[in-house]
């Protein structure tokens, strides 16, 4: 009998997970609230709510996972490797540098625009006979008993036939309806920041260098993109101030701020694309396994984008869940057996807690402008750069190889 799983939420995590399951001969019903775009022009990747203006720094482990799925050759043409990482603080002496060649790896990861990542994943899902993709559908109810989960939904305001499965995976985002329907609480920390996101053109080639620059406005990430002079920008600023950075009338103001923050490291900031803003908060679900339902992606844990760890953590979660499921199916026909799902949850806690604590600590630590703390963290950056043995350890964690 063909096993079938329901995934609620067709963002990058939901699409990736559906492809992982299909590779293991597990059928998937993938439910997405928003209609997907049509890709008539092979040179364009229209934005979707899940495939937006942001960029994702795929860790080496994430690249390995996509390679296992046979997708990396399709993604690689839209990705750019990170060969060096430079970490500095504006107006301070501390700096640290990671060099891929010194760590004996071909790269620390690959930067890809979400719009292209989403396009490739969606195209592959649409072509997979084991995945039934149903978009433009609003989930209105999620219930379960000892044997089965039932989802009620509507399209264009009209109820449709309910869906049922022994396992539901809720990957429906930070404000997950499914999580709320299950009565699962969350711990929320609002960073009082929004991320300004765009792509810029610089006079100096990026040479595959990624910068993390801490300023009084927030941690600024400048990462290489396809095209020798294109770079992505993720800049958290104080909530309520985003208006001064958005809109064509503020283009030069934004470029001048980048120039002031970075100096001449990237050369002259020549041009900026349209800028978008996204609120930043940490949202952690109290449970991830509830009966026959698993919370996945941002429904389980939404974290600050500093260090680019969020999506990579979610992809590792998905990969481990599929491994637990396939191993379980060798001895049982119950694909949603609650004890197995609880075992998965426990297996992922160490990696999740490590990443969540690291990202939160970096944001809080570098946001404090106390002179003593500033001296301590810059001394720490210097120590990181000169003490043997630290760089390989940190690099392996950042690349997702010590999960």
Number of alpha carbons in the 13 Å side-chain half-sphere of residue 346: 6
Positive or negative: CA dihedral 298, 287, 344, 328: negative
Instruction: Tell me whether residue 104 is in a domain.
Output: yes
Number of alpha carbons in the 13 Å side-chain half-sphere of residue 281: 15
Instruction: Tell me whether residue 343 is in a domain.
Output: yes
Instruction: Tell me whether residue 382 is in a domain.
Output: no
Residue 57: which domain range? Answer: 5-365
Instruction: Tell me whether residue 228 is in a domain.
Output: yes
How high is the pLDDT of residue 47? 61
Query: At 201, which helix (H) or strand (E)?
Result: strand 186-202
Positive or negative: CA dihedral 394, 231, 58, 10: positive
Axis-axis angle for helices 60-68, 310-328 (nearest 10)? 40
How high is the pLDDT of residue 93? 45
CA distance linking residue 317 with residue 29, whole number of Å: 19
DSSP string, 92-116: SS-EEEEETTTTT-S-SEEEEEHHH
Question: Which tokens go with 339?
Answer: 């004890």
How high is the pLDDT of residue 46? 59
Q: Give the CATH number of the domain where residue 277 resides.
A: 3.50.50.60
How high is the pLDDT of residue 365? 54
How high is the pLDDT of residue 22? 96
Tens place of pLDDT for every residue, the chain, 403 residues? Answer: 467 899 999 999 999 999 999 999 999 999 999 888 887 666 665 566 666 678 888 988 899 999 999 999 999 999 999 898 877 775 554 567 777 787 677 788 899 988 889 999 999 999 999 999 999 999 999 999 999 999 999 998 899 999 999 999 999 999 999 999 999 999 999 988 898 999 999 999 999 998 887 766 667 888 999 889 999 998 888 899 988 999 889 999 999 998 988 888 889 999 999 899 989 899 999 999 999 999 999 999 998 876 678 899 999 999 999 999 999 999 998 999 999 999 999 999 998 898 888 777 766 655 545 444 444 444 444 444 444 444 454 545 454 445 4
3-state class (DSSP) for residue 231 = strand
Instruction: Tell me whether residue 381 is in a domain.
Output: no
Count of domains observed in the chain: 1
How high is the pLDDT of residue 150? 95
Instruction: Tell me whether residue 326 is in a domain.
Output: yes
Instruction: Tell me whether residue 17 is in a domain.
Output: yes
The whole model's pTM is what?
0.87
| Chain-centre distance for alpha carbon 219 | 17
How high is the pLDDT of residue 2? 60
Instruction: Tell me whether residue 402 is in a domain.
Output: no
């Amino acid at each position: 009998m063909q096993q079938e799983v329901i995934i609620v939420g067709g963002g990058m995590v939901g699409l990736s997970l559906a492809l992982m399951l299909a590779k293991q001969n597990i059928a998937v019903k993938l439910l997405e609230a928003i209609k997907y775009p049509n890709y008539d022009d092979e040179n364009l990747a229209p934005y979707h709510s899940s495939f937006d203006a942001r960029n994702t720094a795929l860790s080496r482990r994430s690249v390995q996972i996509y390679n296992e799925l046979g997708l990396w050759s399709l993604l690689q043409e839209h990705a750019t490797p990170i060969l060096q990482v430079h970490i500095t603080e504006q107006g301070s002496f501390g700096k640290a540098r990671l060099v891929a060649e010194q760590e004996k790896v071909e790269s620390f990861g690959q930067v890809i625009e979400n719009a292209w990542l989403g396009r490739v994943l969606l195209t592959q899902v649409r072509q997979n006979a084991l995945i039934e993709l149903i978009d433009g559908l609003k989930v209105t109810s999620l219930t379960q008993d000892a044997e089965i989960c039932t989802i009620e939904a509507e399209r264009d305001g009209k109820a449709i036939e309910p869906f049922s499965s022994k396992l539901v995976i809720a990957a429906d985002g930070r404000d997950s309806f499914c999580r709320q329907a299950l009565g699962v609480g969350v711990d929320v920390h609002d960073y009082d920041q929004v991320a300004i996101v765009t792509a810029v053109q610089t006079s100096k080639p990026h040479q595959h260098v990624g910068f993390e620059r801490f300023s009084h406005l927030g941690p600024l990430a400048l990462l290489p993109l396809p095209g020798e002079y294109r770079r992505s920008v993720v800049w958290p600023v104080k909530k309520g101030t985003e208006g001064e950075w958005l809109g064509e009338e503020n283009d030069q103001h934004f470029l001048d701020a980048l120039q002031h923050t970075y100096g001449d490291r990237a050369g002259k900031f020549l041009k900026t694309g349209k800028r978008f803003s996204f609120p930043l908060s940490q949202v952690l679900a109290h449970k991830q396994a509830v009966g026959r339902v698993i919370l996945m992606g941002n429904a389980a844990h939404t974290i600050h984008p500093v260090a680019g760890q969020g999506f990579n953590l979610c992809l590792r979660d998905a990969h481990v869940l599929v491994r637990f499921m396939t191993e379980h199916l060798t001895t049982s026909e119950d694909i949603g057996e609650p004890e197995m799902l609880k075992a998965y949850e426990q297996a992922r806690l160490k990696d999740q807690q490590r990443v969540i604590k690291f990202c939160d600590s970096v944001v809080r630590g570098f946001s404090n402008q106390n002179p003593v703390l500033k001296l301590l963290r810059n001394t720490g950056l210097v120590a990181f750069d000169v003490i043997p043995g630290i760089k390989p350890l940190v690099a392996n964690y950042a690349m997702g190889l010590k999960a």
